[in-house]
A = this chain, B = another copy of it.
Amino acid sequence: MTEITLHSPLDMHIHFRQDDMLKVVAPLSANHFAGGVIMPNLLPPVDNLDRLLWYTEEVRQACQPHAFDPYMTLFFRNYTFAELEAAKPHIIGIKLYPAGATTNSDGGVQEIMAMSAVFEAMQELDIPLLVHGETHGFVMDREAEFCEVYRALATKFPRLRITMEHITTEKAVGLLDEFENLRATVTPHHLILTLDDVAGGLLQPHLFCKPIAKRPEDREALLQAALRAHPKLMMGSDSAPHPRDKKECPGCAAGIFTAPILLPMLAELFERHGALANLQTFVSDTAQRLYRVTPPAKSVTLAKTTMTIPAQYGGVVPMWAGRELAWSVTSVQ
């Protein structure tokens, strides 16, 4: 196969930021995707209805003129039932960050299981819970340790739909089959990278993200689940733009910018493994089914025609800048 047309691809985990950065990155996602889940970790976070409505409008404007549904999220805090009820029509879910786990998460949750009242209310209102699942333990263990929290949440709130965001471990993949109400996103870069790519040769700040890329056996488990279009695994890029001077410096920010190259990367990867036929399910159908969304119709055709990844997009260096990809987007309709 040397061409594939994807119908309404969705990116179920995107960082659009705000202001100038929003204007740079939002069109790059909105061009290739029909919709996506927009993360709320701004400074200050999107954690009330006014700010949510303001941010939704900012995002919509930045995505013009592309047909793109932004699925908005609130930043988890101790919301009242009334607040949740009022927010529900405007959001796809609420994103929980353990305090300090990643970029702009300092205002996150200190004690997750102390938030039961909020989880109860979300379950009652059928608002999905999206979770950055890392403890504050040793960096290579954080997600595996957090799996106990996923177990506790999934057990205690069996009707709460919980998305394990950007999973990176074999252990998290295993949870998908263990709990009906757990589903997950995975990033294309975690299907490709291990810690060896980040720090095994020279140190690569543009491949540094949270959760950090793990061991070869973890990548293999993620990749196999994605290639066979596991029915509870959705593509969520966690594409996270940082200005170049925040990456190539002491104290490099966590985040890999992939938005404009996601579909070519995935086409190359899935074709190499003979799984191109499953790409539609992985990049759209599963998310539509699990989140019960119907994105705008958009046909994105990719062909096996090389593209060279640009050195930067408005001051943001993408993953694999300067490298060639075997596939590229040839039309969007």
- Residues of A at under 8 Å CB distance from B? 138-140, 194-196, 198-200, 202-206, 208, 212, 215-216, 248-254, 317, 321
A205 touches B138 (CB 8 A): no
Q: Which residues of B contact A138 (CB under 8 A)?
A: 194-196, 200, 215-216
7 nearest CB pairs, A to B: A203-B252, A139-B200, A202-B251, A203-B208, A139-B196, A248-B249, A248-B248
User: How many copies of this chain are found per oligomer?
Assistant: 2
Q: Which residues of B contact A254 (CB under 8 A)?
A: 202-203
A98 to chain B, nearest CB (A): 14
Q: Which residues of B contact A215 (CB under 8 A)?
A: 138, 140
Q: Which residues of B contact A199 (CB under 8 A)?
A: 139, 198-199, 208, 212
Q: Which residues of B contact A208 (CB under 8 A)?
A: 199, 203
| Beta-carbon nearest neighbor of A195 in chain B | B139
| Beta-carbon nearest neighbor of A253 in chain B | B202
Question: How many angstroms from the CA of A14 to the CA of B232 in the assembled complex?
Answer: 52
Q: Which residues of B contact A198 (CB under 8 A)?
A: 199
Q: Which residues of B contact A205 (CB under 8 A)?
A: 203, 205, 250, 252
Question: How many angstroms from the CA of A205 to the CA of B252 in the assembled complex?
Answer: 8
Known contacts being A138-B215, A250-B317, is A203 close to B200, with CB within 8 Å? no
A56 to chain B, nearest CB (A): 30
A121 to chain B, nearest CB (A): 33
Q: Which residues of B contact A139 (CB under 8 A)?
A: 195-196, 199-200
Question: How many angstroms from the CA of A203 to the CA of B199 in the assembled complex?
Answer: 10
Question: How many angstroms from the CA of A317 to the CA of B251 in the assembled complex?
Answer: 13
A59 to chain B, nearest CB (A): 27
Best-buried of A195, A196, A202 by chain B (most CB within 10 Å): A202
| Beta-carbon nearest neighbor of A142 in chain B | B200
Question: How many angstroms from the CA of A206 to the CA of B205 in the assembled complex?
Answer: 12
A170 to chain B, nearest CB (A): 14
| Beta-carbon nearest neighbor of A251 in chain B | B202
Question: How many angstroms from the CA of A189 to the CA of B202 in the assembled complex?
Answer: 19
Question: How many angstroms from the CA of A317 to the CA of B195 in the assembled complex?
Answer: 25
A-B contacts, 16 of them at CB < 8 A, read A138-B216, A139-B196, A139-B200, A140-B140, A140-B195, A199-B208, A199-B212, A202-B251, A202-B252, A203-B208, A203-B251, A203-B252, A205-B250, A206-B250, A248-B249, A250-B321
Q: Which residues of B contact A248 (CB under 8 A)?
A: 248-250
Question: How many angstroms from the CA of A253 to the CA of B202 in the assembled complex?
Answer: 5
Question: How many angstroms from the CA of A199 to the CA of B138 in the assembled complex?
Answer: 10
A223 to chain B, nearest CB (A): 16
Question: How many angstroms from the CA of A252 to the CA of B317 in the assembled complex?
Answer: 15
Question: How many angstroms from the CA of A206 to the CA of B249 in the assembled complex?
Answer: 9
A142 to chain B, nearest CB (A): 9
Q: Which residues of B contact A317 (CB under 8 A)?
A: 250
A196 to chain B, nearest CB (A): 5
A204 touches B251 (CB 8 A): yes
Question: How many angstroms from the CA of A132 to the CA of B208 in the assembled complex?
Answer: 26
A224 to chain B, nearest CB (A): 18
